[in-house]
Homo-oligomer: A and B are copies of this chain.
Amino acid sequence: METHLSGNTVENKKIILKCYTNGTPLETDLELKVGEVLKLEVPKGSNGVLVKNLYLSCDPYMRGRMQDFQASYIPPFSPGSAIEGFGVSEVVDSDDPNFKRGEFVAGITNWEEYTLIHKTGQLRKIQQDDVIPLSYHVGLLGMPGFTAYAGFYEVCAPKKGEYVYVSAASGAVGQLVGQLAKLHGCYVVGSAGTSQKVELLKNKLGFDEAFNYKEELDLEAALARYFPQGIDIYFDNVGGGMLDAALGNMRVQGRVAVCGMVSQNSRTSVQSFKNMFSLISKRITIKGFLQSDFSHLYPRFLEEITSNYKQGKIVYLENMNDGLESAPAAFVGLFSGKNVGKQVIRVASK
């Protein structure tokens, strides 16, 4: 719970990065701290908005920002400061005429109770909706959902009847990829790391088949079993050995969309491949992508996915943890697959 001090000031609790790290993030890399006392007013002339953060999104890409590597597509976090990420927030005070107190916004915010946001151009105003939870704006209707949408339609170039494989299939991105592929008339198999997730894939998310990759000694053989005709599209969220196994099972003119490499411990992990020759013999395309390159499609995505969701054609699984103090464990859990569905932290209730 937030601590209100005298008048309209708060102790602004936050999650800071303690120091740069390599490898898989640990809970101890992050720390809950009581911030400086914050007055709940936007300084006049700042053009900023002060928001109360309601939901924060845990996303695997954030691991990259915990490393001291400047040359990436996104700069690293600053040790000692609150980390940032996608969130859903309520406007508490505004010096930007586009935003009013009481409105809800989705966008980049800090992992803290209240944030003074100066870059208001990146905020998207959202409406409360009886059907769509506010938190979905960092999941189904946020970056992960858009990643699934842009990656599947634009990068994979799917055709009806094609064979689609999705790894990390119950995650924030994978669960939507599989459902879009089904709506597109594809045959879809997903993999995940627990039997509970496998059940959800088959019984709740509508995948044709699903398997627990941790129970397979030979991933390439497993994929051959699930795809006797081979794979047309592999939506890769994990990289490494799973990518290699898929390469060994691709069909001619197959496409691999490389969305994430959550299996890799660090940016420069050495990965071994024995099926690279398939690239030539099967004329495979491997394409890495970032959703931000497709932002012109965002309005269409929002409209289509909202409509599909409201018609009951799409479902979305969320893993909601309560309280900022739960954030370090929730975030770190992404990398061991603790989350079932999109991992969100509820910082405050609306």
Contacts and interface: CB of A to CB of B under 8 A. Distances in A.
Contacts of A239: 276-277
A284 to B, nearest CB: 5
Interface in A279-297: 279-290, 293
B283 A290 contact: yes
A268 B274 CA distance: 5
Contacts of A276: 239, 243, 261, 264, 271
Interface in A232-287: 239, 243, 252, 258-261, 264, 267-287
Contacts of A64: 281
A85 to B, nearest CB: 18
Grouping DSSP codes into helix (H, G, I), strand (E, B) and loop, the A interface class, with mixed when no group exceeds half, is loop
Nearest to A284: B288
Interface of A: 64, 72-73, 239, 243, 252, 258-261, 264, 267-290, 293
B277 A283 contact: no
Contact of A269 (B274, B280, B293): B274
Nearest to A278: B288
A277 B273 contact: no
A258 B276 CA distance: 10
Nearest to A277: B267
